[in-house]
Structure 1
Amino acid sequence: MIKLLIVDDEPIERDGMQAILQRAYNDFDIKQAKNGKIAIDLAASWKPDWIFMDIMMPGMTGLEAIEKIQQGNRDIQFIMVTAFDTFDYARQAIKLGVKNYLLKPSKAGEIVATVGKLLEQQAQKEQVSAAQHQQKEDFQKALAIVETDVVTQLLFDHVHDVHIELLVDMLEIPATAEKFVMTVLVPEGLGRLYPQVKEKIRQTENAWIGALYGCQLPIIVFRDKEKSFRSQAISLVKAILSISGSRQEGWFVGVGPVCESLEDIRNSYQKSLIATMDLSLPSRYRFSSDVPSLEKVGDAAFIKQQEKKLFDFIRLGEWESIDRLVTDLIRRFEQEGVNILWTQQRTLEFLWITARVMGEIGIDATIPITQFKPKTIDSCLWKRFKWLDG
């Protein structure tokens, strides 16, 4: 119902106006005020939609009351009621935004017609407001799709007709120089919590949030220069895990390294996947830099190149190429006399990335694990054959 306040120092005028409106319309909740001060107090506590304001009242004029009421509420519609049809009153009322007025004494038909016009204006306003609200909702939905599409393209290098830079320009959250990827593992069956996770991330950090693929949610987080990398990441991890409450089984967050370009973002994503290899950690999160590494400094560039090839093969579904890549790597390590444990770790990392990314593109894959220490290169090959061929 529309809440309407009638302000007039004459009781007969107030009662007559209320009687006319109640006979003509059923959707009004009407109250009265006999002066400007009472009107100001009622406007603050009751918050009427419309106010019929008499202009000439003792103590405080209607125009003065309107001005004070507008300080606390600019949305109230005022109808000026006056016995003086003068330009001076009209000019002051216009300055205050009053667009409708009634001359006293008013006929019942004039009052009803004025209210009818106001109701029509309000209906039109509500229609415009509803259309604008719908447009805003549609735009936000479109932005959410663009955001997940940007993350998908950056992390999986999918080919789209729209260039990535054009999509990035559409997003409300701009990219910063430094960024890193976090991969959130959400327990199976709790995908319904995706909106809550997304909202929690929005409240905590500037980030682009990807789609929930199976149980995995990739996030591109932009660096906050006022915090250290680890403190920023840990703060976001805690915010995400707070959604799970005291039951954090199955929840885990892998944090990749900081990178400076969108071109290098996939490396941070791959490292975030590697950080999720051991889900038994009580902290429920791990930085990729904390994953024990036995690799030699000279092998870093080569391993990174092979990881990129692996990622591309998975994306394109070239499973035989993945098979050859992992096998060739193990054989190369054998020829170079590489430490057996290092070979096992690299083999598992490559198989782990393969399984994770396969899951994200909708292909069921068992996560490769190991419970033994290899003694020969052949045992690493056996592990690879057992998983890839299975």
Structure 2
Amino acid sequence: MSVSGSSALKIVPLFLDETIVHTDLEPLFYEEWSPIKNDASCISLIQSACALDDSISQPITAKARKPFDLDNAVRSFDSHSVLELQPSDERVVYVRKLSKQSSVTTSQSLSRWYKGRCDSEISVLRWFKRIAPDFPVPRVLAVDKSEELIVTSCIPGLDVLHAYPSLVTSAKYLVLILGFLSIIDCFDVDESTDLQSFFANLINSRRLRSFVYRNKAQDPKSHSLLRQRLETLQEALRPVIAELTDSDPALSSCRFVLSHQDLRCNNVPLDPVSGQVMGIVDWEYCASLPAVLAAQFPEWTHQPIMESSLYRNPKDTFLHYAFEPKAERKRLCELYEECVQRLDQEYWRCLMAGSRLRDAYAWVLASDCDPDGEAMNR
């Protein structure tokens, strides 16, 4: 993440299904930060980061996300240690130090996976700088692969999760429209296939992942049930795809675009007063997708299908909150549709025509919250 800002934690009204609850928002990323230790390893890291960034002076401030341990193996929820530095020229830069590999085989695999994610994000951010220098994403300032050290710029603002509850109505509408304008820059990717082949490959990948991890499942029947349900889904998709391509031949070409793939509320920073979108961060999960799957509603107005109370897997115990009641979210989605239709006809056709395919795509990927495919089967 590359967002800079601050705000006091407070209790806000949110909706759990259709019940209003008052709860505190999850801690802000930077509220978990603290001054770093003044030891040799941290000093060396700061000096290396400043040298990479061509900053010859010591930083004015340096803070770190807790826990900060350069020698720690990859942790369950954090792939790397993080520093925010402010050199003497008043810029704010963001520093990541990848964790060292553990001697445990599973941790080594996880470490390689995290490193691959970081490499992917570096590549796509550099790609943006080359083809769309004004697109609001963090900029890679320096990389030292031997030290596994990355320096990027910070995006100012407060993420949607924490800014939205305090916005006035007009600012919420601005978030909706500007969010579309940010997301709609669907950059073409030099790939193509047909939708039937795309879903066949996607489903095969899910089967393989389930086979590899089947011994970790608490229910030994989970893998077998998932295979049966994936076969049912694949058969059900054939007429849906055929109907889609018959009704709109332009979609049958399956043009691929770059998709962020993780546009949750905390990855879209806003101006906390005006609601203006300041940028989009955390691109490590990005992928090239058919345009009909990449088009989407903002997640804060359109609940993902796997979080719906109608289809949610009973094994999914997470609480899923929303900013608005269902009727208001529906109205905001309709407003979003009107906005998209006026600004980009192709995106609007993909948005409207691809609804069922996007739901199917989400279920195939939902290995954590739906390991046996029970919710998908509903």
TM over 0.5: no
Q: TM-score, normalised by structure 1?
A: 0.24
- Using CA pairs below 8 Å that are at least 6 residues apart, which structure has the higher relative contact order? 2
**Larger Cα Rg: Structure 1 or Structure 2?**
1
Q: TM-score, normalised by structure 2?
A: 0.24
More strand by share: 2
